[in-house]
């Protein structure tokens, strides 16, 4: 006889909020890894805890969090749908009104809903390393549980409006100075809590009942409007915070809540939330999750120019030992000087103190011998963009390095397979494409060769993440994900300039979309010579696609190679400091058109944007079809992190979806008709 199998014993649901009461004092612990987000289970747990401590008539209730941080916000994954009960504002109102007063004891990052929770408590204690912020604007939102209304009642209107509108966190020291904290402690939080409770001050007035002195926010508003560049949430956050001085708490909070809920539906917030999660998924590829990364301690960098020095500074900041290898000792010293200048700048700006600056300097070596790379765990070459030169560097490196150490090229266009072909230990080679300035820019394209081992890739991702970077995997093609799309962008911009648009109008149009600068301003900033060399290479190899416009080449021949060139000129005239449109260029472009027999057409601002975006989206789709990028979010991360595409527009792929593929199809048809034979249409644009 067979016994029917027993139903699986139901797992007791893990309690995310627990209460312990001792001598009339309660300890309420939130334990909801990874960041104690205020999801529905925590909100319910807090309501139950509140009832329990009040039923027990506790003298005080301390609110602490398990793990690496106090509450880091509402649960973003809940934001797509209607919020389940209980709602956070009600939970916080109840905590504020609680008979038993609450003491927030904080560590880690107290963000968004976490800070709102702390503001509803009677007292706030924090570890000295804690950071506080209202980062909702970074997700296209404003606080939704009283943050904009309680914070000004604690620290004053201007500082509160600044925190809510900028989204930038502040240190415990700064927050204490603003009046946000009752105690900052170092060491054991329980000891700090015990001594605070021993001399418990009189319970302060409930935050929501305090009044707010009005302040002139005009200057702050101008500052925020400038930095928002089309993002809508920052100014809304500022205006909503300003209500605290004019309306009773309940009215201000109701407006804040409704605005928060409305913004959850906005395209900007959806775009930013998608990037938030994509960022985490793309930087940790699924197939590498279970592969152990090798430990990286010593990094050798070949080439101490701008790029090499930036990479070195990033590695030093992450605590690695760094050796710069140059062709002679004078160049090595110049490389060291560049890295030290970056360290000095970080010191001068207050980003780091003298102790950290000294620790970084102490871990830096520079010399002219490859032998110094013998015990490096990874070597990164950042020399001249020429396959033979880079190959020679690789050959020198493999002669001295361990066979399990990684060898990476920082090429921005070349095929790492060619650079490493035939060298021993094929599994260890790869491309790591940093963006300049490498000590600041977060994007790193990780380019596997045909032979890169999974361990090499896992180590490269872990290494890049450890530098605080955003690594994105890309397949091999000319320019990888980012620069290949950039080439399409520039090509279409050039075609419009050739056919009648002013380069200054093209720049203005792309700025109107929200790009920090247009394609010609960008060329002036980065220098025209690299893309010139690259165009020559592609034309020599017969890989230049379609119509060729040589206006930029002519600028280069005239010595106008950008802001940093001796002439201090490129598309713009930079001789007077700030770049100014140059009538000489307008005349030269007009003469070029005449010479080519082009009858100039006019392009509206919208036409310029749509045609350029159609070219970008077409190239991005080709990249996806060819498997160069693994997902549309990977493309969007590359373009938002590496090329300044506005994050609130989500990246080119998200933007295309929101704009409507039919409108883009129309624009692409115009692009194709404008320059016949110059564009390979992606699947979505065919037919
Ligand atoms: N809601 C839901 N999940 C969150 C979250 C939130 N508010 N904050 C972080 N997470 C998740 C991440 O998605 C990640 O999940 P994964 O491991 O499945 O990929 C995990 O928590 C760890 O986050 P991560 O960013 O990788 O860790 P970190 O230590 O580098 O940074 C924070 C921690 C809290 C500083 C960072 O996650 C952050 O800024 N979070 C957003 C805070 C915020 O905007 N709060 C206001 C919300 S309105």
Could you give the angle at the alpha carbon of 514 between the alpha carbons of 684 and 241, nearest 5°? Answer: 125
Give the mean model confidence (pLDDT) for residues 242-267. Answer: 97
Give the mean model confidence (pLDDT) for residues 610-625. Answer: 98
Query: pLDDT, tens digit, for every residue of 547-561?
Result: 999 999 999 999 999
In a domain, 278, yes or no: no
Q: Is 358 a catalytic residue?
A: no
Give the span between the Cα atoms of 284 and 57, in whole angstroms: 48
Alpha helices in 500-631 (DSSP H): 503-513, 519-526, 529-540, 551-557, 583-596, 605-625
- Tell me which of 483, 487, 531, 565 is the catalytic residue: 483
In this structure, the answer to whether residues 362 and 421 fall within a common structural domain is yes
- Tell me which of 107, 260, 320, 433 is the catalytic residue: 433
What pLDDT is recorded for position 578?
Answer: 87
- Provide the token pair at 305: 């120019």
CATH number of the domain that residue 254 is part of: 3.90.226.10
The more confident residue out of 65 and 4 is 65
In this structure, the answer to whether residues 322 and 242 fall within a common structural domain is no
Q: Over 70: is that where the pLDDT of 566 sits?
A: yes
Query: pLDDT, tens digit, for every residue of 437-453?
Result: 999 999 999 999 999 99
Answer for the pair 354, 347: CB distance below 8 angstroms, yes or no: yes
Q: Over 50: is that where the pLDDT of 408 sits?
A: yes
In a domain, 280, yes or no: no
What pLDDT is recorded for position 4?
Answer: 39
Task: Say what percent of the chain tops pLDDT 90.
Answer: 93
Last residue of a domain, one of 474, 494, 521: 474
In this structure, the answer to whether residues 172 and 250 fall within a common structural domain is yes
In this structure, the answer to whether residues 336 and 418 fall within a common structural domain is yes
**Cα(35) to centroid(ligand 1), Å:** 6
CB contact burial 622-641 (16+ within 10 A = b; e otherwise): bbbeeebbbebbbbbbbbbb
State the chain's mean pLDDT as an integer: 95
Name the one residue in this structure whose structure tokens are 């997902």.
Answer: 631
CATH number of the domain that residue 638 is part of: 1.10.1040.50
DSSP state of 132: E
HEC string for 239-283: HHHHHHHCCCHHHHHHHHHHHHHHHHCCHHHHHHHHHHHHHHHHC
In a domain, 434, yes or no: yes
In a domain, 567, yes or no: no
Q: Taking every pair of C-alpha atoms in the chain, what is the biggest distance, in angstroms?
A: 97
Q: Is 23 a catalytic residue?
A: no
**Angle between the N-to-C axes of helices 605-625 and 652-659, in degrees from 0 to 180, rounded to the nearest 10:** 120
What pLDDT is recorded for position 537?
Answer: 87
Length of the chain measured in residues:
687
What pLDDT is recorded for position 130?
Answer: 98
- Count Cβ atoms within 10 A of the Cβ of residue 238 and give its class: 0-12 exposed, 13-18 middle, 19 or more buried: buried
Q: Over 60: is that where the pLDDT of 12 sits?
A: no
CATH number of the domain that residue 449 is part of: 3.40.50.720
Q: For ligand 1, is residue 575 a contact (CB within 6 Å)? A: no
**How many CA atoms lie less than 13 Å away from 107 in the CB half-sphere?**
17
What pLDDT is recorded for position 2?
Answer: 37
In this structure, the answer to whether residues 374 and 422 fall within a common structural domain is yes
Which domain range does residue 99 map to?
17-265
Q: Over 60: is that where the pLDDT of 281 sits?
A: yes
Q: Over 90: is that where the pLDDT of 14 sits?
A: no
Give the mean model confidence (pLDDT) for residues 267-272. Answer: 97
Lowest mean pLDDT among 236-250, 430-444, 521-535: 521-535
CB-based contacts of 548-555 (< 8 A; 24+ apart in sequence): 549/494, 549/495, 549/497, 549/498, 551/494, 551/497, 551/498, 551/588, 551/589, 551/592, 552/494, 552/523, 552/528, 554/588, 554/592, 555/528, 555/585
Q: For ligand 1, is residue 139 a contact (CB within 6 Å)? A: yes
Q: For ligand 1, is residue 467 a contact (CB within 6 Å)? A: no
**Cα(115) to centroid(ligand 1), Å:** 15
Instruction: Report the phi/psi class of residue 201: left, alpha or beta, with left for phi > 0 and alpha for psi in -120 to 50.
Output: beta
In this structure, the answer to whether residues 466 and 502 fall within a common structural domain is no
What pLDDT is recorded for position 72?
Answer: 96
- pTM of the predicted structure, to 2 decimals: 0.91
Across 112-205, where does the E strand assignment appear?
123-127, 131-133, 170-171, 183-185
DSSP state of 531: H
10: confidence class by pLDDT, cuts 50, 70, 90: low
DSSP state of 562: B
In this structure, the answer to whether residues 55 and 79 fall within a common structural domain is yes
Give the mean model confidence (pLDDT) for residues 118-145. Answer: 98
**Strand ranges of the sheet holding 123-127, from the earlier edge strand across to the other edge:** 17-22, 25-30, 60-65, 102-106, 123-127, 183-185
In a domain, 4, yes or no: no
Q: For ligand 1, is residue 76 a contact (CB within 6 Å)? A: yes
Instruction: Report the phi/psi class of residue 618: left, alpha or beta, with left for phi > 0 and alpha for psi in -120 to 50.
Output: alpha
534: confidence class by pLDDT, cuts 50, 70, 90: confident
What pLDDT is recorded for position 7?
Answer: 42
Give the span between the Cα atoms of 273 and 277, in whole angstroms: 7
Q: Is 138 a catalytic residue?
A: no
Q: How many helices (H) and strands (E) does the chain have?
A: 27, 19
Q: Is 607 helix (H, G, I), strand (E, B) or coil?
A: helix
Number of domains into which the chain is organized: 3
Query: Which ligand 1 atom sits closest to the C-alpha of 111?
Result: 45
Radius of gyration of the chain (CA): 28
Give the mean model confidence (pLDDT) for residues 558-577. Answer: 94
In a domain, 547, yes or no: yes
Last residue of a domain, one of 474, 503, 522: 474
- Tell me which of 166, 412, 487, 565 is the catalytic residue: 412
In a domain, 427, yes or no: yes
Query: pLDDT, tens digit, for every residue of 161-172?
Result: 999 999 999 999
Dihedral sign for Cα atoms in the order 586, 592, 598, 604: negative
Query: pLDDT, tens digit, for every residue of 633-684?
Result: 999 999 999 999 999 999 999 999 999 999 999 999 999 999 999 999 999 9
Lowest mean pLDDT among 107-116, 493-502, 575-584: 575-584
In this structure, the answer to whether residues 375 and 519 fall within a common structural domain is no
Name the one residue in this structure whose structure tokens are 């312990």.
Answer: 20
Query: pLDDT, tens digit, for every residue of 465-520?
Result: 999 999 999 999 989 999 999 999 999 999 999 999 999 999 999 999 999 999 99
In a domain, 283, yes or no: no
Q: For ligand 1, is residue 4 a contact (CB within 6 Å)? A: no
In this structure, the answer to whether residues 634 and 662 fall within a common structural domain is yes
Q: For ligand 1, is residue 73 a contact (CB within 6 Å)? A: yes
In this structure, the answer to whether residues 117 and 196 fall within a common structural domain is yes
Of 648, 647, 651, the residue nearest 613 (C-alpha): 651
Question: Which residue, by CA, sits nearest to atom 47 of ligand 1?
Answer: 73
526: confidence class by pLDDT, cuts 50, 70, 90: confident
In this structure, the answer to whether residues 449 and 591 fall within a common structural domain is no
In this structure, the answer to whether residues 452 and 365 fall within a common structural domain is yes
Last residue of a domain, one of 219, 243, 265: 265
């Amino acid at each position: 006889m067979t016994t029917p199998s027993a139903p699986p014993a139901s797992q007791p649901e893990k309690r995310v909020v627990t209460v312990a009461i001792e001598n009339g004092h309660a300890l309420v612990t939130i334990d909801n890894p990874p960041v104690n987000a205020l999801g529905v289970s925590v909100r319910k747990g807090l309501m139950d805890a509140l009832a329990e401590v009040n039923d027990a008539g506790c003298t005080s209730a301390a609110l602490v969090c398990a793990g690496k941080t106090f509450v880091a916000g509402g649960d973003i994954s809940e934001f797509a749908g209607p919020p389940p009960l209980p709602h956070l504002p009600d939970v916080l109102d109840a905590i504020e009104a609680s008979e038993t007063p609450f003491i927030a004891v904080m560590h880690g990052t107290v963000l968004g809903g976490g800070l709102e929770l702390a503001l509803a408590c009677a007292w706030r204690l924090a570890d000295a390393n804690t950071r506080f912020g209202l980062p909702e604007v970074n997700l296209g939102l404003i606080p939704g549980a009283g943050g904009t209304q309680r914070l000004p009642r604690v620290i004053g209107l201007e500082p509160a409006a600044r925190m809510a509108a900028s989204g930038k966190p502040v240190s415990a020291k700064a927050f204490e100075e603003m009046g946000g904290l009752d105690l900052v402690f170092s060491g054991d939080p329980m000891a700090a809590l015990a001594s605070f409770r021993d001399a418990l001050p009189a319970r302060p007035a409930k935050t929501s009942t305090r009044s707010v002195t009005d302040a002139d926010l005009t200057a702050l508003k101008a500052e925020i409007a400038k930095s928002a560049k089309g993002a809508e949430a920052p100014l809304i956050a500022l205006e909503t915070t300003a209500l605290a001085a004019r309306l009773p708490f309940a009215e201000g909070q109701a407006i804040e809540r409704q605005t928060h809920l409305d913004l959850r539906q906005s395209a900007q917030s959806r775009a930013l939330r998608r990037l938030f999660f994509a960022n985490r998924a793309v930087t940790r590829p699924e197939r590498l999750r279970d592969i152990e990364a090798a430990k990286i301690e010593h990094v050798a960098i070949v080439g101490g120019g701008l790029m090499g020095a930036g990479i070195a500074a990033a590695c030093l900041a992450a605590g690695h030992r760094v050796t710069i290898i140059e062709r002679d000792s004078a160049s090595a010293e110049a490389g060291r000087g560049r890295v030290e200048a970056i360290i000095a700048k970080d010191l001068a700006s207050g980003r780091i103190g003298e102790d950290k600056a000294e620790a970084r300097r102490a871990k830096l070596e520079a010399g002219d011998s490859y032998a110094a790379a013998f015990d490096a765990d990874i070597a990164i070459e950042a020399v001249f963009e020429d396959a033979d030169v880079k190959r020679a560097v690789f050959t020198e490196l493999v002669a001295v390095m361990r066979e399990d150490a990684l060898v990476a090229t920082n090429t921005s266009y070349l095929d790492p397979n060619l650079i490493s072909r035939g060298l021993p230990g094929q599994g260890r080679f790869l491309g790591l494409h940093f963006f300049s300035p490498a000590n600041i820019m977060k994007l790193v394209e990780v380019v596997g060769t045909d032979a890169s081992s999974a361990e090499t890739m896992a180590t490269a991702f872990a290494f890049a993440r450890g530098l605080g970077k955003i690594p994105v995997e890309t397949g091999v093609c000319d320019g990888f994900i980012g620069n290949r799309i950039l080439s399409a962008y520039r090509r279409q911009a050039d075609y419009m300039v050739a056919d009648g648009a002013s380069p200054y109008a093209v720049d203005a149009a792309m700025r109107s979309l929200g790009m920090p600068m247009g394609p010609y301003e960008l060329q002036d900033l980065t220098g025209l010579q690299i893309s010139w060399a690259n165009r020559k290479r592609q034309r020599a190899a017969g890989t230049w696609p379609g119509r060729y416009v040589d206006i930029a080449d002519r600028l280069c021949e005239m010595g106008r190679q950008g802001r940093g060139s001796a002439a201090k000129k490129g598309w713009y005239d930079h001789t007077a400091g700030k770049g100014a449109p140059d009538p000489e260029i307008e005349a030269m472009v007009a003469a070029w058109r005449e010479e080519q027999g082009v009858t100039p057409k006019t392009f509206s601002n919208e036409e310029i944007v749509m045609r350029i975006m159609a070219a970008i989206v077409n190239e991005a789709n080709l990249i996806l079809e060819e498997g160069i990028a693994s997902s549309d979010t990977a493309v969007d991360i590359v373009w938002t992190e590496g090329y300044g595409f506005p994050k609130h527009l989500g990246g080119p792929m998200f933007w295309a979806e929101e704009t409507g593929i039919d409108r883009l199809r129309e624009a692409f048809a115009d692009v194709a008709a404008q320059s016949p034979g110059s564009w390979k249409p992606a699947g979505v644009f065919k037919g």
